[in-house]
Amino acid sequence: MKDPIDISVRLGVEHIDFPGDPPFEVKRVQTLADGAPAELSHLSMGAHAGSHLDAPAHFIPSGKTLDAYGPERFIVNCLLVEKFGPGPVRAENLVDCLVQPGQALLVMTENSKTGRATSGRFDPNFVGLDESAADWCVKQKLGLVGIDAISVENCKDGRFPVHNKLLAADILILEGLNLAEVKPGAYRLICLPLRLVGTEASPVRAVLCDP
């Protein structure tokens, strides 16, 4: 088996804070250099920091929170596809994808190719999915959709139709990935969230393994 490929962004270095989200911050509470018996850090961040999973509760009233899912939901076969070029990912870019119901689909875009995904700065021109792509994913009955952007959609009118369509269909959303060094193909995805109770999202350490 080949070594797993880490597709997470590095918090504090590469991650992007979505406007309005709590910023990520690390503070040293005590240090060995100051004579403390151990190093101790305090972490402050939102549930959507860095590479993270969205659960239905993020947008759907009375939707499931992440603790409603067993760990098997976060360890799934997946297909990684690429869509380069300007504009959002549309259904026509996905029609040839051979992905099965319940599996995950990861989309590599210009965000990875240009370094936007790991720049550490929010760029309002990032690439996401459009509504037709979301409809296609729902029709395929996918279990998870992931993308190399801080959001699965670049929505400027406050409606967030892609989130709503996917999450209403119980399709988990994996955002904030770094796919620059990964080749398209079939993988086994592992993206375990923190074991939080009642939250709509959680940071993850996402890796790809042999299928």
8 Å CB contact between 140 and 101? yes
Task: Give the pLDDT confidence of 78-125 residue by residue, as tens digits.
Answer: 999 999 888 899 999 999 999 999 999 999 999 999 999 999 999 999
Return d(Cα 9, Cα 7) in angstroms, integer. 7
pLDDT for res 1 = 55
Task: Give the pLDDT confidence of 163-178 residue by residue, as tens digits.
Answer: 999 999 999 999 999 9
Task: State the amino acid at position 99 in one-letter form.
Answer: V
Q: Taking 80 as the threshold, does the pLDDT of residue 133 lie above it?
A: yes
Return d(Cα 61, Cα 70) in angstroms, integer. 21
The overall average pLDDT reported for the chain is: 96
Paired tokens of 13: 């270095």
Comparing CA positions, the residue from 100, 97, 170, 92 lying closest to residue 129 is 92
Domains of the chain: 5-13+47-209 (3.50.30.50)
SS3 of 26, please? Answer: strand
Report the half-sphere exposure of 75 (CA within 13 A, side-chain side): 6
Higher per-residue pLDDT: 156 or 192: 192
pLDDT for res 86 = 80
Beta bridge partners of 173: 54, 145
Task: Give the angle subtended at the CA of 199 by the CAs of 193 and 203, to the nearest 5°.
Answer: 30
* pLDDT band per the 50, 70, 90 thresholds, residue 156: confident
The overall pTM is greater than 0.85: yes
Paired tokens of 103: 């599996």
